[in-house]
């Protein structure tokens, strides 16, 4: 009897989950592209995968007084009663508040490049007597920021009264749109060459400074003698100079070089070399 009751409870639980599962899925529909065949927009949408489901809120104050509250979801609904609503505006009035739909998830377009992605939700509530009675639309730009997974929502243009823009533009900083090379370069540590240079100059500087102080204070050296191990570095420099002089400036005569003259010596001239008679006039 006990096992049967447990099985019945388990079956009831599965039936309840199966019943409410379509409702759960319907509440998180995600973004639906207007141009469903665009490969570039699909790639940009896939690049926002780590931000999907996130919602952002920002307040708009005028002279310190709260006027508007904006809610935007990244491929996520911000209104439980309307699953397709991707962005809404709460207008705070003196007597009553008003909620305006700025854009729908099922009318999404994307534009972007490495380092930024611009998402647009269209088909919001229609303007009444302004902006040619067109439908509202909202745009939010996701900009590369390696230090932030998802930053705060900021207002770039809210389409308030007196502004010519009839759309809403917001900015979100996030690392999800950063290129992999830039993201890895930001999180990558110092290279081996940089570590070697830091260690080399640190050791060399410490050697010169401590050696100079020792020779100056303890030994009482003056002038160039204050340099640590001065005699060693002097001999080392002379040896390098000798080596450079030997390699770069040595000019050795070849053994088989033809000489066009003869050294002066005391040996007598041979008969064929005595040609003074040719100098006499005939």
Averaged pLDDT for residues 43-55 = 89
pLDDT tier for residue 23 given thresholds of 50, 70 and 90:
very low
Range scoring the smallest mean pLDDT among 22-31, 149-158, 241-250: 22-31
- Calculate the average pLDDT of the chain: 77
pLDDT tier for residue 27 given thresholds of 50, 70 and 90:
very low
What confidence score (pLDDT) does residue 139 get?
Answer: 92
Which DSSP symbol is given to 182?
A: H
Answer yes or no: are the C-beta atoms of 168 and 102 closer than 8 Å. yes
Give the CATH superfamily of 39-174. Mannose-6-phosphate receptor binding domain (2.70.130.10)
Helix%, strand%, coil% for the chain, nearest 5: 40, 25, 35
Q: Where are the domains of the chain?
A: 39-174, 193-245
Q: How far apart are CA 88 and CA 81, in angstroms?
A: 13
pLDDT tier for residue 171 given thresholds of 50, 70 and 90:
very high
> Which pTM does this prediction carry?
0.55
Averaged pLDDT for residues 193-197 = 87
Q: How far apart are CA 164 and CA 185, in angstroms?
A: 41
Averaged pLDDT for residues 6-28 = 48
């Amino acid at each position: 009897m006990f096992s049967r009751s447990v099985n019945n409870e388990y079956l009831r639980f599965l039936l309840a989950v199966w019943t409410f599962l379509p409702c759960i899925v319907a509440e998180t529909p995600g973004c639906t592209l207007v141009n469903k065949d665009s490969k570039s927009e699909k790639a940009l949408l896939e690049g926002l995968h780590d931000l999907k489901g996130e919602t952002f809120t920002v307040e708009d104050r005028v002279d310190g007084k709260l006027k508007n509250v904006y809610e935007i979801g990244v491929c996520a609904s911000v209104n439980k009663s309307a699953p397709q609503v991707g962005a809404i505006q709460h207008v705070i009035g003196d007597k009553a508040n008003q909620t305006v739909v700025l854009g729908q998830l099922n009318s999404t377009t994307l534009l972007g490049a490495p380092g930024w992605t611009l998402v647009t939700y269209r088909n919001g509530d229609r303007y009444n007597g302004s902006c040619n009675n067109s439908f509202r639309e909202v745009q939010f730009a996701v900009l590369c920021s390696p230090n932030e997974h998802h930053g705060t929502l900021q207002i770039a243009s809210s389409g308030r009264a007196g502004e010519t823009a009839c759309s809403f533009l917001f900015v979100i900083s996030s690392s999800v749109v950063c290129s992999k090379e830039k993201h890895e370069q930001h999180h990558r540590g110092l290279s081996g060459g940089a570590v070697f240079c830091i260690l080399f100059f640190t050791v060399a500087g410490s050697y010169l400074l401590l050696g100079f102080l020792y020779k100056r204070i303890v030994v009482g050296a003056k002038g160039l003698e204050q340099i640590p191990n001065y005699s060693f570095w002097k001999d080392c420099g002379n040896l390098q100079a000798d080596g450079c002089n030997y390699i770069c400036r040595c000019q050795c005569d070849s053994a088989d070089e033809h000489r066009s003259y003869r050294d002066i010596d005391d040996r007598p001239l041979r008969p064929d070399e005595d040609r003074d008679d040719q100098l006499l006039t005939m």
